[in-house]
Amino acid sequence: MHVAESVSEGYGVNCARCGATLYQNRPASLARVSAFSLTALLLMTVVHTSPFIIMDAGSLRTTLTLPGAAHALISQGSALVGWGVAVFTILTPLVLAGGLIYVCVPLLFGRIAPGAMFVARWISITEPWNMIEVFLLGVLVSLLKLGKVAELQFGMGFWAFGILMFCMAAGVAAIDKKELWDRLEVAKTHE
């Protein structure tokens, strides 16, 4: 157990016992979380509507979108796996980015949104289940398999997804979760 002392922006504190980082005061945390999460949310609309890859095999053309991949599994008899893909690549990033905006934007103005504690709990629970970077690796592996079969083109969705992945990672990493909880607690007592 350590007594928590405040640290200046950009610094952190380590555990004397195991050496793990206990908490960090990351620079401009709230503003950066809000900016990256908002960008991520806007990019999601592009990612879910425009194709990742366009494949031409003879006269046939098929396209890949995130909801399309989940839907294909559901309609081809692997409903459970399909819903899993939807949860890990569509629902979880949405809860994470949406939740962070909902909690952090009012905190920027020193206020607390109604139910912010509940939303913050859900952010902690969903964080390990966000798998968009794993999906991008899956796209790259699939490209090699499909490259033998047909002609492939990258769509707008692919590039938007790359930026989305960066924004999600940057948004989640911009604030120490303990700092977020501390700020929520302070905002609540000042209400």
Partner 1 sequence: MNEISEQFPPRGASQGLASCHICEKVSPISDVKCRRCGSHLHFRKPDSINRTIALMIAAVVLYIPANLLPILTIRELGIAREKTIMSGLVEFWQMGSYPIAIVIFTASIMIPLLKIFSLLWLCGAARGLIPCSAKVMGKVYWITELMGRWSMVDIFVVAILVAMVQLGNYMTVTPGPGALAFAGVVILTMFAAMSFDPKLLWDRLEQKTSPDSNISDCE
Question: What is the binding site for partner 1 (CB under 8 A)?
Answer: 1-2, 16-20, 53, 55, 57-58, 60, 62-64, 68-73, 76-78, 80-82, 84-85, 88-89, 117, 120-121, 124-125, 128-129, 131, 134-135, 137-139, 141-142, 144-146, 149, 177-178, 181, 184-185
User: Whose Cβ is closer to partner 1: residue 17's or residue 190's?
Assistant: 17
Residue among 31, 28, 34, 39 at smallest CA distance from 162 = 39
- Least CB distance from residue 1 to partner 1, whole Å? 4
- Least CB distance from residue 81 to partner 1, whole Å? 5
User: Whose Cβ is closer to partner 1: residue 55's or residue 172's?
Assistant: 55
How far apart CA 184 and CA 112 sit, in angstroms, is 7
User: Whose Cβ is closer to partner 1: residue 50's or residue 142's?
Assistant: 142
User: Whose Cβ is closer to partner 1: residue 19's or residue 114's?
Assistant: 19
User: Whose Cβ is closer to partner 1: residue 49's or residue 76's?
Assistant: 76
- Least CB distance from residue 180 to partner 1, whole Å? 9
Residue among 133, 105, 129, 123 at smallest CA distance from 176 = 123
- Least CB distance from residue 2 to partner 1, whole Å? 6
Q: Residue 155 in contact with residue 38, Cβ under 8 Å?
A: no
